[in-house]
Chain A
Amino acid sequence: MKILVYTFNHFILFYFLVLNLTYIFLTLSAFVFIRRYIKLIKIVELRKIFQSTFFKPISVISPAFNEEETIAESVKSLLHLSYPEHEVIVVNDGSTDGTLSTLKERYRLNKAFRDFDSPLKTALVRAVYQSEEYPNLVVIDKENGGKADALNAGINISRYPLVCCVDADSLLDSEALMRVSRPFLEDSSTVAAGGVVRVANECVVRAGKVMEPRLPKNKWATFQIVEYLRAFLAGRISWAVFGGLLIVSGAFGLFKRQTVIECGGYRTNTVGEDMELIVRIHKIQRKKKRKYKIAFIPDPICWTEVPEDRRTLARQRARWQRGLMDSLLMNKEMLFNPRFGIIGLIVMPFFFVFEMFGPLIEFGGYIILTISAILHLINIDFVLLFFLVAVVLGTMHSISSMLLEEFSFYRFPGFRNLFKLIFYSILENFGYRQIMSWWRMRGILQYISGDRSWGKMARKGFTTKKT
């Protein structure tokens, strides 16, 4: 038992060092990239391209299931996106509430005959509607098949070379499409691009736009803001720089339509369809030895509603963990496989060890700690110091993300917001992170037991300013 304890302790130390050094490296890389990017966009403005015919038109696809509360605002924001040419395809995925009727009433939809190819198999499409008022708005009404199935149906009917997949409850910044399409203009080998997702809870929304970003009063939502800053600004940007981005958020991502179709579209038998698609794109592109790029932009803004109650958040995080496991295990042939370059040799192993097994290792550590205490093998000074180092490092990572935010496109102005975020960065180390790990642990257990459900999320709707 002593040997087990000693061995595990060494492993924990090594794990801790590698994880934190990686985060520090990723943060520094993100810093360099963001600075360079901001300077670049100041000089290379791409005005002429967007005024010409050389931009690529985009089909924006928004799957909707029981989104009665927010669908109207969401579609409005999509229709008013600033882009030379785009269409909006809303896929009503067998909603049981008034989602379709809200759309019909608000946008004067008429049934349309629309012939289209179906390279991706989906659940039955019952009808296609066209808006009288907005010729670039199409609504598909189909039988319920899940988000992935709905996206595939949208991709089938889309007619533009780029498809932007957004959640129905997401609000896009008006210039989001212009910004996220830049990588495709910069390099024609780009097949996918993602952007930063921000928390919209309690932000003031008017005419489908976030007019006034606000920090929510709800503590769960505020914690998630800190998390999102870390994940998007420090994490994803850096991974993308090294060609190792494994996820483009389901809330907002732009893809080459042809690439998605070649890969077989979104998988419907997973809850992590967004990540799984990106991992599969890596796999297929590398198998075919094609030059390709998956980009991530620090500035386009997508705002989304995050859970404000413990139950919904717990379900979401467990689902994300299951999605992560699906994405990695379904494509496990890449693991340690030199044929897949940096993805196989560095990124996949990192995600396997630190993201997938992370909660197991963490809880394993708590168990070993308990055993150590029982066997009087514990050095309390070390335990306390280690915990303090972990807390301070965790806070440092979050503050670093805030620094990245200050350098880039800071969206929560004012000192009050800043101090609140700093406070929550410290506070999250005392319970929030631990409970996250527990929920992720539950996700692992659910995965092992075969649970594939989505769960429900209670929606509040956006705060709309009265004029």
Chain B
Amino acid sequence: MIFSTGPSFISLKVVIFLLELVFSLTVLLTLYVVYLRGAQTIYERKRKNEIAKWEPLLLDYINGSLKLSEVEREMRHADRDLLGEMLIEYSQDIRGQALERMIELWKQLRFDEYSFKKIKSRYSWYRAYGATLLGIMRDSSATPLLIELLKDKSPLVTFSAARALARIGIKKELGHIIGIVAKSKRWSEDQFAEIILDFGQDIAEDLVELCEDDNVPLNRLAFIIDVLGFMRFQPAYEALAKLAEKGEKETRIRAIKALGELSRPESSPLLLGLLGGESWEIRSQAAKALGKIGDDGAIPGLVKALDDRIWWVRYNAAVALTKIGEKGLSALWSVAENAESERARKVAQHVFEQRVSYAESHVI
């Protein structure tokens, strides 16, 4: 035994072996950490030098002060990895002619070949990375390969490929693919969201069709509804109104919110009806949406909602009244001064006070 002199199931030799093993592992790990630190330090230093060297040249080229051939000649002997990173970093935030010039340089320096090589890699992350690069550089010659990648078994690769295609501009043709993806769980919610936002208005009609498809998972549907509202896609009105009236609570809440974004006066009767609903979240969103629509006819309903038992409903109703112009403000002021209900008075006063301090801070 470890501590005693009695019989033991573990011999001294085993313990010594364990000690040697663990010690060796520790030494190896330590050396590896030191190596990584060294490598990182060298990389950082090199990166700093390369950026200092190439950045002025790159900026002059993007601005048009230097020709492609001049820049290409200078950069031919640069560290490829670092230069590639620099070009990608700069390309993320530029548009128009500047981006076109960057793409030309990228191709001239044969970085496109690098990307093509990556998307054929057997490692999924490299395929995804390659697709991302092709997207950033808007390389339309990669379109057939990227469409092929949409069938890849790795969700990250399909995500990168879809994103790249969206950046290149191949959107309308892929609306049906978004539909397929919407029904599967291959992408996480944030990935799905980014793709939908990337594709934007071009797939709005496909999104409306998805609203009517029972096979779309609820969390995806919720986001699709949000996006239609965000885009203020008017043809989605009927589908959204249907979703707002009945169904799963979260879906209804999103649909009500989207109706608010669409701001159609014909939604008012529906939303006023929802102000008396059972769920406080629905009442709250209905109040908000009525504020966005700005219809005078909603004022009595909103005033009534100032006495709701849930604070959020009262608060959103009060804020909504401030958005319905003079009549709404006047109604709210009347409540703040004269209402019998203390909670209605309080929330009205709070919202007025908020408006005043907002106005003051903006004047400042």
Interface mask (A5-33 → B, CB under 8 Å = 1, otherwise 0): 11001101100000000000000000000
Complex interface: chain B residues within 8 A of A188 (CB): 189, 219, 222
Contact at B26–A396, with CB atoms within 8 Å?
A: yes
B25 at the interface (CB under 8 A from A): yes
- Spot the interface stretch: B32-40, B63-71, B73-81, B236-244: B32-40
A117 to B216, CA, bound (A): 36
Contact at B15–A385, with CB atoms within 8 Å?
A: yes
Contact at A389–B29, with CB atoms within 8 Å?
A: no
Contact at A403–B190, with CB atoms within 8 Å?
A: no
Nearest-neighbour CB distance to chain B for A193, whole angstroms, equals 13
- Spot the interface stretch: B268-276, B291-299, B350-358: B350-358
Contact at B194–A49, with CB atoms within 8 Å?
A: yes
B18 at the interface (CB under 8 A from A): yes
Contact at A377–B2, with CB atoms within 8 Å?
A: no
Contact at A372–B3, with CB atoms within 8 Å?
A: yes
A356 at the interface (CB under 8 A from B): no
Nearest opposing residue in chain A for B195, CB measure: A48
B30 at the interface (CB under 8 A from A): yes
Complex interface: chain B residues within 8 A of A112 (CB): 353, 357
Contact at B1–A54, with CB atoms within 8 Å?
A: no
Contact at B29–A415, with CB atoms within 8 Å?
A: no
A46 at the interface (CB under 8 A from B): yes
Contact at B41–A413, with CB atoms within 8 Å?
A: yes
**Given A117-B311, A135-B357; A406-B2 close (CB under 8 Å):** no
Nearest-neighbour CB distance to chain A for B181, whole angstroms, equals 14
Complex interface: chain B residues within 8 A of A132 (CB): 357, 360-361, 364
B10 at the interface (CB under 8 A from A): yes
Q: Which residues 161-182 of A sit at the B interface, judged by CB distance below 8 A?
A: 182
A376 to B3, CA, bound (A): 10
Nearest opposing residue in chain B for A404, CB measure: B33
- Spot the interface stretch: A37-45, A230-238, A303-311: A37-45
Contact at A377–B6, with CB atoms within 8 Å?
A: yes
Contact at B10–A13, with CB atoms within 8 Å?
A: yes
Interface mask (A368-388 → B, CB under 8 Å = 1, otherwise 0): 110010001111011101101
Complex interface: chain A residues within 8 A of B343 (CB): 115
Q: Which residues 398-416 of A sit at the B interface, judged by CB distance below 8 A?
A: 399-400, 402-403, 406-407, 410, 413-415
Complex interface: chain B residues within 8 A of A46 (CB): 190, 194
Interface mask (B293-335 → A, CB under 8 Å = 1, otherwise 0): 0000000000000000011100100000000000000000000
Contact at B159–A44, with CB atoms within 8 Å?
A: yes
A133 at the interface (CB under 8 A from B): yes
Q: Which residues 346-393 of A sit at the B interface, judged by CB distance below 8 A?
A: 368-369, 372, 376-379, 381-383, 385-386, 388-389, 392-393
Find B4's partner among A40, A186, A379 (CB 8 Å cutoff).
A379
Nearest-neighbour CB distance to chain A for B254, whole angstroms, equals 11
Complex interface: chain A residues within 8 A of B40 (CB): 406, 410, 413
Complex interface: chain A residues within 8 A of B311 (CB): 115-117
A interface list, Cβ under 8 A from B: 2, 5-6, 9-10, 12-13, 39-40, 42-49, 52-54, 110, 112-117, 130-135, 159, 182, 185-188, 368-369, 372, 376-379, 381-383, 385-386, 388-389, 392-393, 395-396, 399-400, 402-403, 406-407, 410, 413-415, 418, 422
* Contacts A/B (CB < 8 Å), 30 sampled: A6-B6, A13-B10, A43-B125, A112-B353, A113-B353, A114-B353, A115-B349, A132-B360, A135-B357, A186-B188, A186-B190, A187-B189, A188-B219, A372-B4, A376-B5, A379-B5, A381-B12, A386-B3, A389-B15, A392-B23, A393-B22, A395-B26, A396-B29, A399-B30, A402-B33, A403-B29, A403-B33, A406-B37, A415-B38, A422-B33
B interface list, Cβ under 8 A from A: 1-6, 9-10, 12, 15-16, 18-19, 22-23, 25-26, 29-30, 32-34, 36-38, 40-41, 44, 125, 128-129, 132, 156, 159-160, 188-191, 193-194, 197-198, 219, 222-223, 226-227, 230, 310-312, 315, 343, 346-347, 349-350, 353, 357-358, 360-361, 364
